[in-house]
Amino acid sequence: MPLKISDEILSSVEKPSRYIGNEWNSVHKNPNEMKIRFAFCFPDVYEVGMSHLGMKILYHLLNERNDTYCERVFAPWVDMESKMREHDIPLFALESHDPINTFDFVGFTLQYEMSYTNIINMLDLAGIPLRSSERTKEHPFVCAGGPCAYNPEPLADVVDFFMLGEGEEIITEIMDIYSEWKAEDSSREEFLNRIVSIEGVYIPQFYEVKYNPDGTVNGVVPKKDHYPDKIKKRIIKDLDQTYFPDKIIVPFTDIVHDRIMLELFRGCTRGCRFCQAGFIYRPVRERSHEKLLELAKKLEESTGYEEISLTSLSTSDYTRLAPLTEGLIKEMEEKRVNLSLPSLRIDSFSLDLMEKAQKVRKSGLTFAPEAGTQRLRDVINKGVTEEDLLNSVSIAFNGGWNGVKLYFMIGLPTETYEDIEGIADLANKVVSAYMGVPKEKRGKGLNVTVSTSSFVPKPFTPFQWEAQDTMNTLRDKQRFLKDKIKSRYITYNWHESEVSFMESVFARGDRKTCDVLIKAWEKGCKFDGWGEHFKFKTWMEAFDECNVDPDFYSNRKRSYDEVLPWDHIDVGVSKKFLIKESEKAHRGELTSNCRVDCSGCGATAFGGGICVE
């Protein structure tokens, strides 16, 4: 039965619109007529989850099926959770307000390691056993996908099965098999046995992890011969032919990315050695600009949004950007719809592109040099120079822009204090570039924001073997940079080192970290990505009580021959290639852009996109 949330409860929480549903373009079906009910869960608050493009795509894709009802579920904020527990209200889906423990599937998207305790908390709120081994046929199947699923081991005891890679095809195949299984009334394990043969499906309980005496992984071994030794990710080869919604939900409240999002392409050709997305989403596959113009028109008409964001890992690398922006300006300018271009490359920037993108409204510009010196930019294979950045910002300042955000990393492999000082020097040169523009041309009130995140070694990158800087070292580097920034035009923001430390532990964790995760939740940890709720001391207590050393996962450099917890996952990029890139990094050598020269990473095995063009 649908849950009735009283006005008294809604009026007592910070943002009641997070919990009421019924937004424009949300899908409503008769649950009694549906064979399959799927709860798409985002383990963070509504305004974060509603900004996620993957949820928009899969939500509408599943609801295109006549036998399936997909509904949205978000982590209730602490005020609402308190009311729910006080009044025995289980976690519910927004569309029907039905408790999700009655659904067939509860699926989580794994975007950020620091949301893992929210997954545990949401399952508990729903009344679903936390561990897969404790669930019976009366419980939903708990599944997960997303970029963090490429190291599934920290959640291996919690999640029944993972979907690795792009979900449009794989999730449809699973629903087809489930429909048959449900009609036959077979066992829970029988369903898992049927889907284990689907490419991209990983079922942790079908694999045994063996450890060496020193605590490292000896191997991840299938328990039966017909279980695959390696689980290969799934990709969509032709983006023009795959599903993309022509209408999306329009929230009642502001969300983080409150606009139309047009996905230009998947993958990235650049090969930045710290960037997990740049390796796990290979090869690059583009949508045609004609298809994108068609989608933009339909989405604007169905939503009324006044901004369109062109999204991808490196937007200005889209080969048909000129005809796309020209077509969008022609279609949208008279409707006062603005274009947003995130992920700009500072070496492919022009005043013409800026004018096209933001002809309606000028907004701030964002660049990511990542490192303060050319030496370190070569180490990470960034492939851009100081001259590129200064030319770009000078063009922008001459065009009337006055707000620039600069993103850097600290703690990168081989980094020195000279590299960190280079960040301050580069920011000062941006200020000088502004001052060098005639007053009548530049915008008033320069604001340069320097933001540093701490380097986290991620699976399937050339830096996956590196040790992370200790928390004390990262704090010292942050203080050093803060002292070097003197200009009143520059604002400096940084990430707390404790959060980055925890992120690295779960990014490279094995199954032993799952016990810590559940223990930390039992001790009150949740919303760990939100500074006001992060409880570092409590986390350290959980590690201690579980007899697990977090430094083993974070601050330890691995050898190339060590078996990594995710070595049974195949993303298409070979380990041999990643080792080669790691060695080139330490020599400061660059690797060519995929469009210039194939570097032999292994993604040609998928037979799609740029690899075959």
Could you please report the per-residue DSSP string of 429-490? HHHHHHHTS-TTTSPSS-EEEEEEEE----TTSTTTTSPPPPHHHHHHHHHHHHHH---TTE
Burial of 562 (0-12, 13-18, 19+ CB in 10 A): middle
State how far the Cα of 426 lies from the Cα of 102, in Å rounded to an integer. Answer: 56
Task: Return the number of other C-beta atoms located less than 10 Å from residue 221's C-beta.
Answer: 12
Domain 260-409+417-451+574-587 CATH class label: alpha beta
The pLDDT value given to residue 439? 87
Q: By percentage, how much of the chain surpasses pLDDT 90?
A: 80
The pLDDT value given to residue 352? 66
State how far the Cα of 193 lies from the Cα of 355, in Å rounded to an integer. Answer: 55
pLDDT, tens digit, 9 for 90 and up, residues 249-292: 999 999 988 899 999 999 998 899 999 999 999 999 999 999 99
The pLDDT value given to residue 355? 62
Output DSSP code: residue 19. T
Q: Are 602 and 572 contacting, i.e. CB atoms less than 8 angstroms apart?
A: yes
pLDDT, tens digit, 9 for 90 and up, residues 159-193: 999 999 999 999 999 999 999 999 998 899 999 99
Domain boundaries, the chain: 7-232, 260-409+417-451+574-587
Report the candidate in 556, 473, 546 with the shortest Cα–Cα distance to residue 513. 546
State how far the Cα of 464 lies from the Cα of 462, in Å rounded to an integer. Answer: 6
The CATH homologous superfamily to which domain 7-232 belongs is Cobalamin-binding domain (3.40.50.280)
The pLDDT value given to residue 353? 65
The pLDDT value given to residue 185? 83
Report the candidate in 355, 304, 302 with the shortest Cα–Cα distance to residue 329. 355
403 forms beta bridges with 447
Residue found under tokens 């290979």: 282
Q: Which residues of 49-84 are buried (b: 16+ CB within 10 A; e: fewer)?
A: bbbbbbbbbbbbbbbebeebbbbbbbbbbbebbebb
Q: Which residues of the chain have pLDDT under 70?
A: 1, 342-364
Measured in whole angstroms, the distance separating CA 284 from the mean position of its chain's CA atoms is 17
Amino acid at 384: V
Classify strands 403-410 and 365-370 as parallel, antiparallel or unpaired.
parallel
Task: Return the number of other C-beta atoms located less than 10 Å from residue 582's C-beta.
Answer: 18
Q: Are 92 and 11 contacting, i.e. CB atoms less than 8 angstroms apart?
A: no
Q: Do domains 7-232 and 260-409+417-451+574-587 have the same CATH topology?
A: no
The pLDDT value given to residue 345? 59
Measured over the CA atoms of residue 292, residue 297, residue 298 and residue 302, the dihedral's sign is: positive
Burial of 361 (0-12, 13-18, 19+ CB in 10 A): exposed
